[in-house]
Amino acid sequence: MKRDFHILDVFTAVPYSGNPLAVVLDADGLDSGQMQTIAREFNLSETVFVLPPENPVHSARLRIFTRFKELPFAGHPTVGTAVLLASQKMGELEREEDAIIMLEEGIGAVRVGVRVFPNRPAFAEFDAVALPEELSEPPPADRMAAALGLAPNDIGLENHKPTRFSAGLAFSFVPVRGLEAMERIDINPQHWKDAFWDGDLNAAFVYCRQCVHTKSHFHARMFLPGLFGSEDAATGSAAAAFAGVIQRFDQPRDGIQRAAIEQGYEMGRPSEIALELEMAGGRLKAVRIGGHAVPVMSGTLEA
């Protein structure tokens, strides 16, 4: 059976940058093993399979696979798939239009607002289903430094220290002093487990305030040896959890606070993730993740 697929670059408005995503439409009838095989064939960080929704008022049900396993939720598949479905629904436009896309994922129903433009890439923003939750204390900084190929005094930034948070997927968050340290990262698999493994936790989101672009607030790299081929170009699920880091250390004032996260530069895949925190009474009330997505190719596969 022939099935249509599309590849989009996500968290970018520029083709062949950002984080590439494969989306297989009309995936009904494929079992888990077939989906995993197709995801390995695409060989991208994630592949989405679009299925009919269980709730008829929703837009679609998604199954998200890396090359090695299925995920209950991921940021750039959510943004990219919502942009694709909204763009197909609206067709050719003469003016910008907004749409709400409801996606059923393993973590629950995810609401995505999409703005589609006639002559430039669409933008999508989703509400995080789960607010960031702080997890166990990380190991000493020297272990993290060894796993990242850095010196212990590279770890730390102002009042920020390493933490662990989850907003559906768990990450270790490691602040470093600046871009020079970022560029020197050379992961050491022998030390990785001691530094970052804690049950299902194995990913490190490394960040600093020094940025390539003045419009950005944080520069980041995300490492997960094996699952994403060591490094990921743009990680929306990590950005959602990173809101907990910002709330803890920066104590943002009440109201809507926004931060732009640049990622993927060291990979040659520049990406920009828009992070929005809604604060009330000094507490985090909502988190939203946004970004552009641009289609780069489409075709059919036999499955």
283 and 169 within one domain: yes
pLDDT computed for residue 197 by the predictor: 83
Q: Is the pLDDT of residue 68 over 70?
A: yes
Taking residues 87-109, report their average pLDDT: 89
53 and 31 within one domain: yes
Taking residues 185-206, report their average pLDDT: 87
- CB-based burial, 200-224: b 16+ in 10 Å, e otherwise: ebbbbbbbbbebeeeebebbbbbbb
In angstroms, rounded to a whole number, what is the distance separating the alpha carbons of residues 221 and 262?
9
pLDDT computed for residue 296 by the predictor: 97
- Is residue 63 within 8 A of residue 27, CB to CB? The reply is yes
- Is residue 265 within 8 A of residue 212, CB to CB? The reply is yes
212 and 106 within one domain: no
Q: Where does the pLDDT of residue 127 fall: very low under 50, low under 70, confident under 90, or very high at 90 and above?
A: very high
153 and 212 within one domain: yes
Taking residues 282-291, report their average pLDDT: 96
- Name the 3-class secondary structure at 57: coil
Is residue 46 annotated as a catalytic residue, yes or no?
yes
pLDDT digits (tens, 9 = 90+) for 251-283: 999 999 999 999 999 999 999 999 999 999 999
260 and 203 within one domain: yes
247 Cβ contact list (under 8 Å, min separation 6):
132, 277, 279, 283, 284
In angstroms, rounded to a whole number, what is the distance separating the alpha carbons of residues 156 and 279?
25
pLDDT computed for residue 41 by the predictor: 96
Domain that holds residue 34: 2-128+292-302
pLDDT computed for residue 228 by the predictor: 47
185 Cβ contact list (under 8 Å, min separation 6):
148, 149, 150, 206, 221, 223, 266
253 and 112 within one domain: no
260 bridge partner residues: 274
112 and 172 within one domain: no
pLDDT digits (tens, 9 = 90+) for 51-64: 999 999 999 999 99
In angstroms, rounded to a whole number, what is the distance separating the alpha carbons of residues 243 and 228?
22
Q: At 104, list the tokens.
A: 């059923």
10 and 102 within one domain: yes
281 and 137 within one domain: yes
Taking residues 103-125, report their average pLDDT: 94
pLDDT digits (tens, 9 = 90+) for 151-189: 999 999 999 999 999 998 899 999 999 999 999 999 998
294 Cβ contact list (under 8 Å, min separation 6):
8, 9, 12, 13, 14, 15, 18, 121
Residue 69: CATH number of its domain? 3.10.310.10
Enter the pTM of the model: 0.94
123 and 195 within one domain: no
Nearest by Cα to 70 from 96, 18, 105, 122: 105
pLDDT computed for residue 229 by the predictor: 53
In angstroms, rounded to a whole number, what is the distance separating the alpha carbons of residues 187 and 229?
12
Q: Is the pLDDT of residue 200 over 70?
A: no
Name the packing angle between helices 189-196 and 141-148 (round to 10°).
150
Which of 41, 46, 97, 105 is catalytic? The answer is: 46
Nearest by Cα to 211 from 182, 239, 233: 182
pLDDT computed for residue 224 by the predictor: 86
- Mean pLDDT (the chain) is 94
237 and 146 within one domain: yes
pLDDT digits (tens, 9 = 90+) for 218-256: 999 999 876 545 899 999 999 999 999 999 999 999 999
Q: What's the structural domain count of the chain? A: 2
103 and 190 within one domain: no
